[in-house]
């Protein structure tokens, strides 16, 4: 999990050294399904925030999709504005462990980005959702979908940051007021890391997230210091690559 923490920190923070890396190289291990590309230069054209339903293998009734859409709208607006929102209220049981894992995972990323020197709010985002599976087991409806998204951070609005192939699994239950989310799982590094850490800990989910955040912030401080050294040292090629590889080796040797 130590290696995962380093990689997640680098990707989730938007990357702290992006101004150096954008025209350089892709950090090993971080390129899978993620990209921050200077090849996609385009003029910033104002706010453009949208969640799209793409053609997929399965169809879903509008009333079933409503709570899922609400989840993504709430999540992306919170991440775009770096403003924490109580997403547990979107779950049938807001106090359930799964609801709090979702809340803690979102809060973790927001706190991580708020602690950057660069403005990591989003000017634009486009999220695409492709439904790949719908299974009615009687009591619950299982909905599996793939997320892709492209966002533009405020400090580099002309550069697209994209991810794809992120699997979400929602479990829905029908109530008198319509369908509600009972559980939601996301195959994404920070979510999986938090889920594992929470399951292995006796602490409350938010305490676990806070502890991981503190570890991540220490990594960020090191990177920020080395970025400053890189800039004052004339930006020698390969310096940041060596820094990151050294940090990984150090953390691999930690218990």
Q: Which CATH number belongs to the domain containing residue 63 in this structure? A: 3.10.450
In angstroms, rounded to a whole number, what is the distance separating the alpha carbons of residues 238 and 68? 44
In whole angstroms, how far apart are CA 12 and each of 7, 90, 138, 214?
Answer: 8, 24, 38, 14
In angstroms, rounded to a whole number, what is the distance separating the alpha carbons of residues 68 and 75? 11
Instruction: Confirm whether 225 is domain-assigned.
Output: no
Angle among Cα 112, 36, 68 to the nearest 5 degrees reads 65
Instruction: Please state the φ and ψ torsions of residue 73, each to the nearest 5 degrees.
Output: -60, -45
Instruction: Confirm whether 101 is domain-assigned.
Output: yes
Higher pLDDT, 233 or 152: 152
Return the structure tokens found at 53: 């339903």
What pairing do the DSSP bridges indicate for beta strands 122-136 and 48-54?
parallel
pLDDT at 14: 45
Higher pLDDT, 191 or 7: 191
Higher pLDDT, 191 or 18: 191
Question: Which percentage of the chain shows pLDDT scores above 90?
Answer: 46
Instruction: Please state the φ and ψ torsions of residue 25, each to the nearest 5 degrees.
Output: -140, 165
Instruction: Confirm whether 100 is domain-assigned.
Output: yes
Instruction: Confirm whether 228 is domain-assigned.
Output: no
**Cα 17 from chain centre:** 18
Higher pLDDT, 36 or 169: 169
In angstroms, rounded to a whole number, what is the distance separating the alpha carbons of residues 163 and 149? 6
Q: Please check the confidence at residue 25 and state whether its pLDDT lies above 70.
A: no
- What is the domain range of residue 92? 2-212
Instruction: Confirm whether 50 is domain-assigned.
Output: yes
Q: Please check the confidence at residue 132 and state whether its pLDDT lies above 50.
A: yes
In angstroms, rounded to a whole number, what is the distance separating the alpha carbons of residues 32 and 19? 20
Would you say the C-alpha torsion 61, 66, 68, 73 has a positive or negative sign?
positive
Q: Please check the confidence at residue 237 and state whether its pLDDT lies above 60.
A: no
Based on C-alpha coordinates, what's the Rg of the chain? 19
Higher pLDDT, 6 or 153: 153
Residues 6+ apart with CB under 8 A from 136: 142
Instruction: Confirm whether 201 is domain-assigned.
Output: yes
The number of folded domains in the chain is: 1
Q: What is the mean pLDDT of the chain?
A: 77
Render the burial of 59-73: b for 16+ CB within 10 Å, e for the rest: ebeeebbebbeebbe
Band (pLDDT 50/70/90 cuts) for residue 116 is confident
Angle among Cα 106, 108, 110 to the nearest 5 degrees reads 70
Q: Please check the confidence at residue 16 and state whether its pLDDT lies above 60.
A: no
Q: Which ranges of 90-186 would DSSP assign to H, the alpha helix?
A: 97-114
pLDDT at 255: 40
Instruction: Confirm whether 246 is domain-assigned.
Output: no
**What average pLDDT does the segment 193-214 reach?**
76
Instruction: Confirm whether 226 is domain-assigned.
Output: no
Band (pLDDT 50/70/90 cuts) for residue 62 is very high
**What average pLDDT does the segment 101-115 reach?**
88
């Amino acid at each position: 999990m130590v290696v995962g923490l380093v990689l997640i920190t680098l990707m989730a923070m938007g990357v702290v050294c992006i101004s150096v890396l954008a025209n350089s190289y892709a950090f090993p291990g971080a390129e899978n399904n993620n990209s921050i590309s200077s090849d996609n230069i385009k003029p910033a054209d104002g706010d453009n925030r949208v969640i799209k339903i793409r053609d997929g293998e399965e169809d879903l009734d509008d009333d079933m999709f409503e709570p899922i859409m609400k989840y993504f709208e709430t999540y992306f607006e919170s991440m775009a504005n770096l403003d924490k929102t109580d997403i547990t209220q979107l779950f049938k049981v807001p106090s359930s462990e799964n609801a709090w894992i979702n809340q803690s995972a979102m809060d973790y990323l927001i706190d991580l980005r708020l602690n950057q020197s660069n403005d990591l709010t989003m000017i634009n985002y486009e999220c695409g959702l492709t439904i790949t599976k719908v299974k009615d087991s009687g009591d619950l409806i299982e909905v599996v979908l793939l997320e892709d998204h492209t966002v533009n951070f405020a400090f580099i609005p002309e550069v697209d940051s994209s991810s794809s192939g992120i699997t979400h699994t929602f479990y829905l239950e029908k109530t008198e007021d319509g369908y509600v989310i009972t559980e939601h799982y996301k195959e994404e590094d920070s979510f999986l890391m938090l889920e594992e850490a929470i399951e292995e800990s006796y602490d409350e989910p938010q305490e676990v997230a806070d502890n991981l955040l503190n570890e991540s912030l220490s990594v960020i401080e090191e990177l920020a210091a080395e970025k400053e050294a890189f800039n004052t040292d004339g930006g020698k090629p390969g310096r940041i690559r060596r820094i990151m590889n050294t940090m990984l080796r150090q953390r691999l040797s930690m218990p």
